[in-house]
Amino acid sequence: MIYIGLARYTEQNIRQIIDMKPDGVILGDILCNKRMFPFSGAELAEYINQLVEKGIRVIYQTPMYLTDRIFEQVISDIQYYYAKNLISGVIVQDVGAASKIRSACPSLEVIWGRMGYARTPVINTTTISFYMNNGVSGFECKNEIQDQVANNLGVSSYLVYGWPCYKTINRECYFKFEKNIFDSDCKCGCLTKELLILGPDKENTATIDGYVLGFQAEYYENIVKAYTTNKKVIIYGENLEEVRQHIYELEAKNE
């Protein structure tokens, strides 16, 4: 089973996705729906309805930073989609969100997302059991080992083709690092609200505390080797053409 997740959706590529007939689609941006949708997500319910009417499953992805400001609205949206049978699952990166969703939507599949691993990078039976105790019933998996552990514990596994790549910087002080100032002359420049963005020549690919320095997906060969038609795979890509190519890579392996 193949699910696809694009960096940005429009009416045109929603129609193209319907023509492609994938098993499922991931909707909802990892940081903010303003990045994913031309109208900041106002069109989300319409897109979900169009896909579901054509028999395409939808998994809703919650933001990585599910703060108090948006928490209740996101939970309300999920409850609505759940009540109307519009989504088959929801991706979370936060244990509190998982617990709340499990309570509000008892039979909805709650999937621990790829960005949640940054907080608990070593995935083993102990951590997976902790997530399960807090409502998680599925996992985005980076490789066959994580896939096997999830399967052995009886939870759903979604192999991810397009894993996020990170390069982080010293957390002591971002401002000092970016301005190359490492003494008292910094004068708390971070408080002047300057844009803390590294130049493109730095080749950073990361998301740090809400500041987007870049994003890059790695397509690991082990996912191609592990793929079979009875496994669930999520392909993340910048655009539909890129995703089509990666679908071809997976399906060619099974010919």
pLDDT tens-digit map of 103-126:
999 999 999 998 876 555 456 678
In percent, how much of the chain has pLDDT > 70? Answer: 76
Which has the minimum average pLDDT: 9-23, 120-134, 149-163, 205-219? 205-219
How many secondary structure helices (H) and strands (E) does the chain include? Answer: 10, 12
pLDDT at 210 over 50: no
Which CATH code for domain 2-165+216-253? Answer: 3.20.20.190
pLDDT for position 189: 57
Domain ranges of the chain: 2-165+216-253, 167-214
Element (H, E) at 6: strand 2-6
Q: What is the rounded CA–CA span in Å between residue 37 and residue 32? A: 9
Bridge-based pairing of strands 163-164 and 217-218 is antiparallel
Inter-residue contact 157 to 232 (CB < 8 Å): yes
Determine the pLDDT at residue 137. 94
- How far apart, in whole angstroms, are the C-alpha atoms of residue 143 and residue 227? 10
Closest to 54 measured CA to CA, from 85, 21, 27: 21
